[in-house]
Structure 1
Amino acid sequence: MTLVDRLNAWCRKVPTWAVYILCLIPIPILYYQAVTGGLGRDPVKGLEHELGEIALQLLILGLSVSPLRKFTGLNLLKFRRAIGVVTFVYVSLHLLVYAALDVQSLGRVWADIVKRPYITVGMLAFVLMIPLVATSNNRATKALGATWRKLHLLTYPIAILGAAHFIWLSKGFQLEPLVYLAIVLLLLSTRLPKMMRSLKA
């Protein structure tokens, strides 16, 4: 038995709820760090940034599931839905911290959406995620049929928008946001043929 076979056998034994718990562990840790000064001189900005970056990392992890199965044989499809839902949780918390603790005004939130492009693309990514989360259940999958697959192609523009949001809000030239964008584009390039077939179906 190869290493990949062993990993797949182990993954089959891991319950999905364990993935939810594992992925959500950073949330109370980050809030504790924000309260105790572990996120720098501006804990609100620090918390906002950390939640957003974890959301982008989870989004990339979700995009990696199919390429990993295709190129390595590692099958993590069982966990993709959980990863997607948890990604939305982090994006929602990122937005909540920004709106409730950072700007503290719905009027300012709307003004930022209109005036600041990085807020605009970030909010657009959040809005596009809502129908994906709303249909991330077995009932919706069966009811929508082939339409469900087409709807979930929204993951691709969401990933690009998320990476662009990170690049745009970064001050000056920073390598890390560009690396995230490069990874997103690489992963999407491996899915392009399948995406085109799904759109034609």
Structure 2
Amino acid sequence: MPCPFSSPPRPDPVNPQSNRGTSARRSHGTILLWVVNIGAWLPLLFLAFDAYTGRLTVNPIQAAEQRTGDIAITLLILSLACTPLNTLLRWPSVLKARRPLGLYAYFYAFLHFLLFIGLDYGFNARLLLQALTEKPFILVGLAGFLLLSALALTSFDTWKARLGKNWKRLHRLTYLINLLIVLHFGWAVKGDFLRLQGDVFRPLLAGLVVLLLLGLRLPAVRRRLAGKLHTLLPSRKIHPER
């Protein structure tokens, strides 16, 4: 079962009958990577522009924290969605976006972390420890960030070769990370989830999407959906998962 920080599967040896299809997939994958790279940097440019022009509300530090956190969650969920999209839409090129999306998610999570401990708490260890004890959602977010750091640092092929089978086991933690990050998000917002009051729509939506994507990764669900879609998309082949 692949994970968001894994590299795209290597293509099978090319045969004369598949040259055209392979070239088309590579072209689509290249375009998609351009879209991912440009799209991932744009939020940071907008954030920098708003900070420079004084448009980050009356509490700019909190606004920057929230925006970097929102971007990180969005990119992490998009990374998690790559494999189900390949299964449902028979779109192997999307697998090339899995690792970049995961790494960009970590980049924004790291910015979120730096803004919190640096600008918000001034790197004051005493205040940070006090916040961890008084606000449990910070502890949940920290756990998710530390696990995400491990996946980002070991996402490259050299670590994959060094860790062997343990690499795949380690990177399955991405499913737990998504749940922790969504829990952190929902716990941090001000609102009443039972009465659906306050800022609860976004964390609820994120949680539902993550649960849906995790459900689509279950072997029984994946096989059932792939079988049904086989008749709808007969001309395209689902990229094998490795």
Considering the TM-score relative to the shorter chain, is it more than 0.5? Answer: yes
The CA distance in 1 between the partners of 2:127 and 2:23, in whole Å, is 52
Unaligned runs of 5+ in 1: 195-201
Relative to structure 1, is the Cα distance of residues 7 and 45 closer, same or farther in structure 2, using a 3 angstrom cutoff?
Answer: farther
1:7–1:74: 8 Å Cα contact kept in structure 2? no
Question: Post-superposition shift, 1:110?
Answer: 2.3
Q: Which residue of 2 aligns with 1:84?
A: 102
Q: Report whether the alignment pairs 1:44 with 2:36.
A: no
TM-fit CA distance, 1:166 = 0.8
- Per mean C-alpha deviation after superposition, the further-off stretch among 44-53 and 110-119 is 110-119
Q: 1:6, CA displacement in angstroms?
A: 11
Q: Does 1:65 align with 2:82?
A: yes
1:100 shift after superposition: 1.0
- Which stretch shows the higher mean deviation, 22-31 or 171-180? 22-31
Q: Which residue is equivalent to 1:197?
A: none
Aligned CA distance change for structure 1 residues 7 and 172 (closer, same or farther; 3 Å): farther
Query: Is contact 1:128–1:158 with CA below 8 Å preserved after alignment?
Result: yes
Structure 2 residue 155 is the aligned partner of structure 1 residue 129: no
- The structure carrying a bigger helix percent of its residues is 1
Cα offsets for 1:42-86 (capped at 9, x unmatched)? 111111000000100001001000000001112211121111111
Contiguous gaps of at least 5 residues in structure 2 = 1-21, 193-199, 221-242
Report the equivalent of 1:139.
Answer: 158
Using the TM superposition, give the Cα deviation of residue 7 of structure 1 relative to its aligned residue in structure 2, in angstroms.
Answer: 8.5
- CA deviation after TM superposition for structure 1 residue 37, in Å: 2.2
- Structure 2: which amino acid aligns with 1:86? Y
RMSD (Å), alpha carbons: 2.2
Which TM-score applies when normalising by structure 1? 0.86
What TM-score do the two structures reach when normalised by structure 2? 0.72
Residue number in structure 2 paired with 1:109: 128
How many residue pairs get matched? 190
Q: Indicate the structure whose relative CO is greater, using CA pairs within 8 Å and at least 6 residues apart.
A: 2
Deviations along 1:89-111, one digit per CA (max 9) or x if unpaired, are: 10000011111111222322222
State the one-letter code of the partner of 1:29.
F
Counterpart selection for 1:93 from 103, 106, 111:
111
Deviations 1:123-169 (A, max 9, x none): 00001112111111111112222211111111111100111111101
Deviation for aligned residue 1:19: 3.3
Larger Rg: 2
Residue from 143, 149, 156 that aligns with 2:168 = 149
Cα distance 1:20–1:13, how it changes in 2: closer, same or farther (>3 A)?
closer
Of all paired residues, the percent bearing the same amino acid is: 35
